[in-house]
Structure 1
């Protein structure tokens, strides 16, 4: 329809204004093409120099890497150095029962808080599970059974726990080294007595805290 209007004959009143003859198809066609050419806006060609002058062009950028300083980690003593310096040895003048009584009182309060008060209504199995992962430094341990009869009846405050032995200070100020294997220990807190089977307790205190113990019956020596 629009094409028909464009190609339609020029009205008579516009003949004089436009200077064309109404019956001249050649002139009408030339006029139409010229009109359309002037009316349609041609796309501008972008000037490359102008574009580069007014727009930021990112060519690439990398931040300088910061030099990482190697932190000097403090290295602890190895096992041989600890033995040479006698780090784990308690001096004879410090092997006194009364010196470790405050440690025992701290341990009692620690266990009571850990077990939720240790009331008579406390579940023994829950308390036992808590004690399996507890720290026993400061506890009063008593050997109730052992394959070595000389250990039976030995009682004192635990001052050092290793993987295979307990070191305790007795009431007569003597340092005793009791092997865990083939020994059963009793520990009493507020009337609650628990037994520790040393053969199943051969871990360091830090290792025992992260270990998952399976519920099993007691094992005789």
Structure 2
């Protein structure tokens, strides 16, 4: 460390280079000489600082985790009966508005393919959500299910849960079943026939959220 006299001389030389001699002497005596120099406490060692930062990050993660609720498990959702429809709500008229919304949704995503069909319509149907769709069992390995028709109130991985016009909730397995779906033409085009298609339940054994990103491939299907 240089001596105090050398430091003062260097400071005065720097001030004289920017100010007149009288101004340099005045600034040095008023603002620099005999003025206390406040120093902050010395920094902690690198390892201590690193540990402090790590503890701060861990505390922040804990606070964030405490504020964000943990998602419920499937068992907890079943215990709380999230997917249970109460007896007073098992009415066809309750879900009729949902079916109207689904019809508008299908008209929007199909567009012009609502009238001519094709592979484009098939791809859109395979990725669509069928909650609110009115489906009818056209073919099934179980003959007693043929002709059952209703609005889909739950589209799970392996079954369609529907409610019929007789206010009955029925569970229809997708395996070994074909479903017929109708999408009526809009009121502005009364001359067009309703869009009708059949979906293979064997290829629909996925949740509606999983079907959106799934690429379907051609498979051999046994006769029903």
Whether 2:151 is the aligned partner of 1:157: answer yes
Q: Matches of 2:200 and 2:95 in 1, distance apart?
A: 24
Q: CA deviation at 1:83?
A: 1.9
Q: Matches of 1:182 and 1:211 in 2, distance apart?
A: 21
User: Structure 1: any 5+ residue segments left out of the alignment?
Assistant: 1-47, 55-59
Higher relative contact order (CA closer than 8 Å, sequence separation 6+) = 2
Q: Matches of 2:172 and 2:85 in 1, distance apart?
A: 16
Of the three residues 83, 92, 96, the one matched with 2:87 is 92
1:174 is matched with which residue? 168
Q: Which has the higher helix share?
A: 2
After TM superposition, list the pairs within 5 Å mapping 1:137-216 onto structure 2: 137-190=131-184, 191-215=194-218
After TM superposition, list the pairs within 5 Å mapping 1:26-175 onto structure 2: 65=53, 67-68=56-57, 69=60, 70=62, 71=64, 72=66, 73-120=68-115, 122-175=116-169
Highest CA radius of gyration, 1 or 2? 1
Deviates more, 1:60-69 or 1:170-179: 60-69
Q: Matches of 2:151 and 2:164 in 1, distance apart?
A: 7
Q: Matches of 2:179 and 2:114 in 1, distance apart?
A: 22
User: Structure 2: any 5+ residue segments left out of the alignment?
Assistant: 12-42, 185-193
Q: Matches of 1:173 and 1:161 in 2, distance apart?
A: 18
Q: Matches of 1:119 and 1:198 in 2, distance apart?
A: 21
Q: Matches of 1:78 and 1:154 in 2, distance apart?
A: 33
| 1:167-189 deviation per Cα after TM superposition (whole angstroms, max 9, x unaligned) | 00000000000000000000011
1:34 is matched with which residue? none
Q: Matches of 1:134 and 1:210 in 2, distance apart?
A: 10
Q: Matches of 1:113 and 1:217 in 2, distance apart?
A: 31
After TM superposition, the score normalised by the length of structure 2 is: 0.67
Q: CA deviation at 1:195?
A: 0.7
2:188 is matched with which residue? none
